[in-house]
Amino acid sequence: MTPVAAAEAAIAADRAFADPALWITRVPDDAFLARARELAAEGAQGRPLWGVPVAIKDNIDVAGLPTTAACPGYAYTPAASAEAVRRLLEAGANILGKTNLDQFATGLVGVRSPYGVPRNVFDPARVPGGSSSGSAVAVAAGIVKVALGTDTAGSGRVPAAFGNIVGLKPTIGSVSAGGMVPACRSIDTISVFARDVAQALAVQRVIAGYHPADPWSRAAPYPFLRCAALPAAARVARIAVGGELAAPYARAAARFDGATVSIDIFLEVARLLYDGPWVAERSAALREVVEGRPEILHPVTRRILEGGLERRTVDAFDAFHLLARARRAAAELFRDCDALLLPTTWPAPTLAEVAADPIGVNSRLGTWTNFANLCDLAAIAVPAGFLADGRPVGVTLLGPAWSEGRLAPLADAIHRLTSAPPPLPADPIGGDETGLFCIGAHMAGLPLNHQITTLGGRFVRTARTQAAYRLYALGARPGLLRGGEGSIAGEGSIAGEGSIAGEVWALPTAAIGALLTQVPPPLGFGAVALDDGPCLGFLAEAAGVAGAEDITALGGWRGFLARG
């Protein structure tokens, strides 16, 4: 669509949805269309979001528009936009307005706002989810294609599940939070809502980047937003889930192989987010308001923030030590699997249920979300179908920091079980990457794959060598030898040369040396002739395979493992 047509469609959809609680500040139609006409006159100029209507959560600054954080007494009008918003505008986006939220992003229900409750698109008697309620509803209702939210405890994931859309929670610090009203500054992140994974990843590519003026910003250790292909043997850990979520969760989990794991330590950490030192961090961010102007706060928000003033430092250190154990547990988990699959949250409660127990219901919604930022994980929430009563449910894939590009194809594959989003193509090997042909334990789902992924590697495709190689079993690893090199292996060998199956992974070129130091003799790197051209790959020294079993006829290492 042209920028003007896209703007007109957004205006029409907003009028049709007609929810006065969706927006806190809505850009007037004339100004929104004027920006669209300017963009149309300028042309695309290579801008990835040229003319795309977007919505911004109203705790993120947009120059010239009020920032309220859903607290009228706190409102101010910034002269400059948040860094993420500035990047959106440079990419050609057209901002339709600032959306409603749980006040000061404190809540997962979406009802803690003096501006009203945005309407759940599936059932107006149920909560929209928060705290990024308005941004999620704007996407779920088809008003905008993408929107910015924030995520501290699950605010970018819970409302995505209730709206049957995608919520991408970036790695902490990968997107600058400068110009965002803080909740828990050390674990806050700006997040993305979209209709599919490809759109969400495209927006994160625009807004991500190191920002030196933001002390919590982090430089990405590798091109983490390049999208991987879907591995043939991804390992996705799952948990035991019962009740009404059991069937949709099991359907999503069945898409991949993986073991059932315990997340007890993560759930223990999750409870600390609203009953530990991070409540005090919320209070510290708004100390002037909590201590000097508490009357301007929503009653539930005030109750939570005043409680943070009473936290003890000695308890904080207990929490920090528990968090260290949880982060170590997460690192060990992701050495053995590519992702962790969880239900995003429980099905949407009613407005009446939240009114009767505002703290308890809110806490329950964060069961599987509260620990992710504390444990420094990336996450993508996707739709996972509907219950019999029509409520949508979602699941979330979590991975270590900087894993968004690897999580994307896994999340997209699950989303396709319930819908048909546009294809999610893998990015080609970049100029600062090197393709590496893996033929053994470094392939997806096998024990040494973590050596590839922790260095920033991403799966590109399956491949085969030309029919000119021999493969040998060297204990836990194979050895690949070009035909005609050295002597034939000893007794039990299978004569002849063949085409060997493997996988091409893209690694940052700077990381190749670090990987090589982890490869013991007689293995090393060399040029391997694939069916579609040469590629760097694992090769063995001829002397190192003497006496080893020749397994060429099995076609590859996976064939050998299947033989048992």
The catalytic residue positions are 57, 131, 155
Distances (CA, A) of 245 to 155, 340, 352, 359: 20, 17, 22, 22
Question: What are the φ/ψ torsions at residue 119 (nearest 5 degrees)?
Answer: -80, 125
C-alpha to C-alpha distance for 155 and 160, rounded to whole angstroms: 9
Q: Which residues contact 379 (CB under 8 A, 6 or more apart)?
A: 157, 168, 169, 372, 396, 397, 398, 399, 407
Q: Which residues contact 72 (CB under 8 A, 6 or more apart)?
A: 114, 296
User: If you search the block for the tokens 């491949």, which residue do you land on?
Assistant: 463
Strand duo 458-464 + 501-508: pairing: antiparallel
Strand duo 236-237 + 339-343: pairing: parallel
59: amino acid identity, one letter:
N
* Residue 84 parent element (H or E): helix 83-90
301: amino acid identity, one letter:
T
Q: Which residues contact 467 (CB under 8 A, 6 or more apart)?
A: 497, 498, 499
* 3-class secondary structure, 485: coil
Cα 36 to chain centroid, rounded: 30
Strand order of the β-sheet with 458-464 is 458-464, 501-508, 433-438, 533-540, 523-530
CB 396 within 8 A of CB 380: yes
* 3-class secondary structure, 31: helix
DSSP state of 542: G
Beta bridge partners of 390: none
Give me the helices (H) in 228-348, please: 246-253, 264-272, 277-285, 287-292, 299-308, 313-336
Q: Which residues contact 15 (CB under 8 A, 6 or more apart)?
A: none
Biggest distance spanned by C-alpha atoms of the chain? 85
* 3-class secondary structure, 431: coil
Cα 347 to chain centroid, rounded: 21
CB 361 within 8 A of CB 346: no
Q: For the residues of 384-398, what is the DSSP string, one character each?
A: EEE-TTS-EEEEEEE
492: amino acid identity, one letter:
G
